Amino acid sequence: MKKIISGWGKIEPISAQAYFPTNLSNLKKLFNKVDMIFRGNGRSYGDSSIQKNKTIFSLRFNKILKFNKKKGKIKVQSGVLLKNLLEKTIPNGWFVPVSPGTKYVSIGGMVASNVHGKNQHIDGCFINFIKSIILILPNGEKKYLSKKNNKDLFYATCGGMGLTGFILEVEFDLIKINSTTINQKKLYFSSLEKLISKIKKSKAKYVVSWVDFFSFNNNKIKSILYTGDHYSKNEYIGNYSFKREFLINKYIAIIVNFFLTDFLIHLFNKIKYFLEFKNKENIVDLNNFFYPLDGLINWNTIYGKKGFAQYQFAIPYKQASKTIKKIFIILGKNNLKPYLVVIKNMKKDLGTLTFSMDGISVAIDVPNKNNLKSVFKKIDKIVVSASGKIYLAKDNFINNSNFRKMYKNYNEFIKIRKKYNLSFINSSQSIRLKI
């Protein structure tokens, strides 16, 4: 059927032929010599899971196939949502080893984006915990992938943005937890240099910071550094389920968008900083720590019809402070003030198109305005000059030239696609990047 789809940022939606196969036989019937891409729950921000000719959704492949409750090993179909998986594993004392900032992602999407979390600096990306992948090629052939079997395709699939085939099944390890809570500590900074220094030195399992862009003035900027570890004291977990979460009515979204101004966000940030300053250490629920935005399931709608862009980049430690300030100055001068800024640290990791590197990761949410593309082009050049990268799961606009400067292994990825005859798997993003 025809369906209007976009990335989570809702920028430049397109009318696409959408398909929802329910089994492998249905899926294979869709494979022919027409450009196609695969899509989970559509939580990547840009155009990586969009194809106007044929967008194939995985959401009906949603079975948990095996779960070893003693060893913490699990095998699922790619359309299983992280939320549904966690509601099965948490009561048994297991959690995902790497979690993105929302639980409404599909497991296949987590593989395709090679997701990282607040613990990337210690545990790396999702690829490190994946034991095997079953991939369906465009010719219908089933491939078993692991770090030993068809390893070229394995490393290209993890972080390959769906461009290597349909991810049918994923087997991976979980981590043991003793409770459903996190021991959280908070530190407060007015200096970007001090924040980055502390982030780099932190020994906590989970590290992330919230930065108030609206407080940026004369090299000073307010931030809160959150560190966390799983609460070590044993407690009875029982039947864990996530608290009720809400969908925003479209009319409410219009009203919220009307009042969503720079002034209001500036005020909100001031209040948030003041209120949080009182509690420097507390015990928080897993859901509140990992998925703070999920309380409003479709929170992206509050940005209105034009949507927003999340721009995430990573840069080496040495260039971090200088580069971030330079980018913030450009955003401020062009009236593109980020409503949300998140900074954390990373380490270099596996994957042909891996985003991770030794350095600092910065993610900014920017409302879409007429000058967004032109300003982002300027920022792209700054990131390239600092030997940095942009995360493809968040990308809307990067051009082919800058992509190749950031991702040195692009040619290897192209060769793998040619080797397995994957030319008919294309997204709006891959066409733009010419891969």
Please report, in tens digits, the pLDDT of each residue of the chain (435 residues total). 899 999 999 999 999 999 999 999 999 999 998 999 999 999 999 999 999 999 999 999 999 999 999 999 999 999 999 999 999 999 999 999 999 999 999 999 999 999 999 999 999 999 999 999 999 999 999 999 999 999 999 999 999 999 999 999 999 999 999 999 999 999 999 999 999 999 999 999 999 999 999 999 988 999 999 999 999 887 778 778 888 899 999 889 999 999 899 999 999 999 999 988 877 889 999 999 999 999 999 999 999 999 999 999 999 999 999 999 999 999 999 999 999 999 999 999 999 999 999 999 999 999 999 999 999 999 999 999 999 999 999 999 999 999 999 999 999 999 999 999 999 999 999 999 999
> Alpha-carbon distance 274 to 12, whole Å?
37
Looking at residue 218, its pLDDT comes to 81
Q: What are phi and psi of 396, to 5 degrees?
A: -120, -30
pTM: 0.96
The verdict on 319 and 305 lying in the same domain is yes
* Count of beta carbons in the 10 Å neighbourhood of residue 69: 14
Residue written as token pair 């990586």: 48
Q: What is the DSSP letter of 411?
A: H
The verdict on 383 and 252 lying in the same domain is yes
The verdict on 322 and 369 lying in the same domain is yes
Looking at residue 238, its pLDDT comes to 77
State which residues form the domain around 296.
Answer: 181-403
How many domains are contained in the chain?
A: 2
The verdict on 248 and 396 lying in the same domain is yes
The verdict on 118 and 196 lying in the same domain is no
Q: Are 41 and 102 in contact (CB under 8 A)?
A: no
Q: Are 131 and 177 in contact (CB under 8 A)?
A: no
The verdict on 313 and 199 lying in the same domain is yes
Q: What is the DSSP letter of 425?
A: B
Largest Cα–Cα separation, the chain = 61
* Count of beta carbons in the 10 Å neighbourhood of residue 140: 12
Q: Are 128 and 100 in contact (CB under 8 A)?
A: no
